[in-house]
């Protein structure tokens, strides 16, 4: 988060010449100074005293002072970026933030951008005579000590279903899977590569092709 945070902070101190309002300020400030000076010169030419000419020049300068406009723009930027941050949006460039009102489509580049980051068990695909409840009980029992998102969802679903879990034994954890025994029955859970041999034996070519189009975690018993 260090780089995005620095980018967001940097966007709060963008060059003052950026944006429509900033471009106006570039010309407005010199114009006000020129008008004030012109007012003083004109007053002197009309025969007014130096004090009166300076007073009128300062009056024009104070009335036309762009200070409020110059302060309001940075404050509005900071307020907008702060509000976006509270909504979970990190602003990298303020110019893009300003153009958000013209957007009619948004493309997200990865999973988790607009999701909750919580896995949900949608379906259990069985290849043998084991019931869904038995398969879920075995998987949740083996994953009792795991903090993986899938393991947490398996335990939550087993709890919701009212299944009784048992303590696994001889649990071995690898880079892409877990193996252990539940009620003296070997259970293996992991990626498709981890259970490549079991998947090859259990599914036909058509079945494996269908599985490739879905996100699933294989389990073998």
Catalytic residue among 22, 109, 134, 193: 109
**pLDDT tens digits for range 42-88:** 989 988 888 888 898 888 888 877 666 666 777 777 888 888 888 87
**Assigned token pair, 183:** 């009620």
C-alpha span between 127 and 130 (Å, rounded): 8
What average pLDDT does range 29-50 have in this prediction? 87
**Assigned token pair, 7:** 């980018």
Looking at residue 213, what is its pLDDT?
Answer: 47
**pLDDT tens digits for range 153-209:** 888 898 988 988 888 888 888 878 888 898 888 888 887 777 777 767 665 544 455
User: What is the three-class DSSP state of 179?
Assistant: strand
94 and 15 in contact (C-beta within 8 Å)? no
User: For the whole model, what pTM was predicted?
Assistant: 0.45
**CA nearest to 90, candidates 98, 81, 99:** 81
User: Does residue 30 surpass a pLDDT of 70?
Assistant: yes
104 is catalytic: no
Backbone angles phi, psi at 169, to 5 degrees: -135, 160
Looking at residue 220, what is its pLDDT?
Answer: 58
Looking at residue 204, what is its pLDDT?
Answer: 54
């Amino acid at each position: 988060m260090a780089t995005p945070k620095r980018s967001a902070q940097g966007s709060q101190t963008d060059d003052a010449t950026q944006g429509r309002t900033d471009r106006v300020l570039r010309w407005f400030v010199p114009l006000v100074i020129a008008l004030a000076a012109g007012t003083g010169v004109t007053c002197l030419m009309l025969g007014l005293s130096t004090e009166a000419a300076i007073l009128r020049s300062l009056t024009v300068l104070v009335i036309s002072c762009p200070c409020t406009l110059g302060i309001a723009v940075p404050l509005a930027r900071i307020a907008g970026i702060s509000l976006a941050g509270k909504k979970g949006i990190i602003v990298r460039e303020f110019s893009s933030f300003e153009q958000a009102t013209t957007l009619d489509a948004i493309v997200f580049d990865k999973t988790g951008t607009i999701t909750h980051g919580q896995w949900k068990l949608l379906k259990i695909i069985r290849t043998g005579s084991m019931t869904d409840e038995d398969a879920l009980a075995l998987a949740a029992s083996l994953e009792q000590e795991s903090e993986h998102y899938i393991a947490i969802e398996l335990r939550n679903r087993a709890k919701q279903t009212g299944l009784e879990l048992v303590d696994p034994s001889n649990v071995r954890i690898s880079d892409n899977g877990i193996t252990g025994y539940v009620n003296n029955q070997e259970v293996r859970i992991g990626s498709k590569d981890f259970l490549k041999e079991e998947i090859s034996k259990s599914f036909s070519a058509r079945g494996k092709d269908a599985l490739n189009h879905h996100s699933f975690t294989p389990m073998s018993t």
